[in-house]
Structure 1
């Protein structure tokens, strides 16, 4: 996707996404979460939510991270394209319970969850564990239990040991691989390895974009003019990614004008 496709009138984009036909049910089979026997049919989840996720997945510049990260979508980016936030949250929760996506808490700097497609997370975990020479048995056990069956964002020692049969030494390996990060005594966040790389790029890019707008007269700029500005090479996620993020986080207000979309920095 070219940079010129960036947001390109968000209101038209929202309309296009919300009217995209549903995908074939053959591509989204029933999934049983393996914990309480509840089944979800992924195809029943409204297609606009899934199409929006896939659109944002295309926005992520995966090639710039050379295999060190999977595609990471910030949850509130969805709000830049879908106006009904309650519905978005509900459908994302349905996708999480259907185990099509995983959600992660990425630290105090980002007051929201990030989303990674489950298949991408599984492949990323396998790659990172192999690089760190983590036991294949431990890797396979984590993939086939926690990734495949567990849908919460955190997990405790009792669940790991009693439900999934991990030993203390195996849990230590999971912490070493950064698929678990400490939340409290005997309690861990299920984590994204190399999340620090993402957060560094994320915070740098957000600051760069907001600074650009802040320096403009009246702290506002036409979207087309902003697209023409030189984007810092160190901000790997790109202007398009941060545009969706800042609008979804209510840091920027979009105003339709005769000259095009106006982006105005909100008062903080």
Structure 2
């Protein structure tokens, strides 16, 4: 007898929004057993969906739920809609966006409350950290901060800024400017990079450099275990490393040229 998992209510409530947006997602996955019509089609619902794909417990709760911006494009394929709604969510202080890594031009998203809870869990009882959360995190929508904002607007001293850098809340962007950062993000980056490389290598080695999605999902790849197969597939599809094609045998993932 077939058993189906209960679809979270949040996804059911978004069907009307999907019709309004006119962008019906066709993403499906064995990981969550969610049918096409149950998938989120507005940006916030897509973020909530991607957030469910891995459990922070597998990282001993040392990172928050991190969502790659381009992953959202794999669920809601109208990039203009996604970018506009992400901007609205940032203005409403519901999400924070961060530059992912020092050498790659990618951005990730964390829900603001998740970010605050993560920081307080990692750096409890620190008045400089509390001040940072109440000022810069609460009031700034950008991914970076300059010295004028930190000193003149948020009233941080040079010593306090140094403390924030040492705590992993800021990383140096240039002289007098910093990227806002996620403490412990290096743990995520290690698993994310390994999983991406493993998935792409698997497809590259396949005949004609293409593989059925179902076949890939059935592979036991250790490197993708922590973040999950669906999480990594949304990464390589959204980043356009592969093209997803509908065939009579199911969805096919083909390495992009």
Instruction: Give CA deviations for 1:116-150 in whole Å, capped at 9, x if unaligned.
Output: 000011111112223xxxx6221211111011111
Distance change in 2, residues 1:190/1:232 (3 Å): same
1:80 correspondence with 2:74: yes
- The correspondence of residues 125-140 of structure 1 with structure 2, limited to 5 A, is 125-130=119-124, 136-140=126-130
1:161 maps to which of 146, 151, 154: 151
For structure 2, list consecutive stretches of 5 or more residues without a partner in the other structure: 7-28
Residue number in structure 1 paired with 2:40: 17
1:70 correspondence with 2:96: no
State TM-score, norm by structure 2. 0.84
1:206 correspondence with 2:206: no
Distance in 1, Cα, partners of 2:223 & 2:153: 46
Distance in 1, Cα, partners of 2:33 & 2:47: 14
- The correspondence of residues 1-268 of structure 1 with structure 2, limited to 5 A, is 4-5=30-31, 12=36, 16-18=39-41, 48-130=42-124, 136-233=126-223, 236-267=226-257
Distance in 2, Cα, partners of 1:108 & 1:180: 12
Instruction: Give CA deviations for 1:50-100 in whole Å, capped at 9, x if unaligned.
Output: 111100000133221111100000000011111110111111011111110
- Consecutive aligned runs of 4 or more in structure 1 exceeding 6 Å deviation: none
Instruction: Give CA deviations for 1:192-215 in whole Å, capped at 9, x if unaligned.
Output: 111111111111100001111111
Distance in 2, Cα, partners of 1:8 & 1:245: 18
- Structure 1 residue 233 displacement after superposition: 4.9
Q: Match of 2:98, SS?
A: strand
Number of equivalences: 231
Q: Match of 1:4, SS?
A: coil
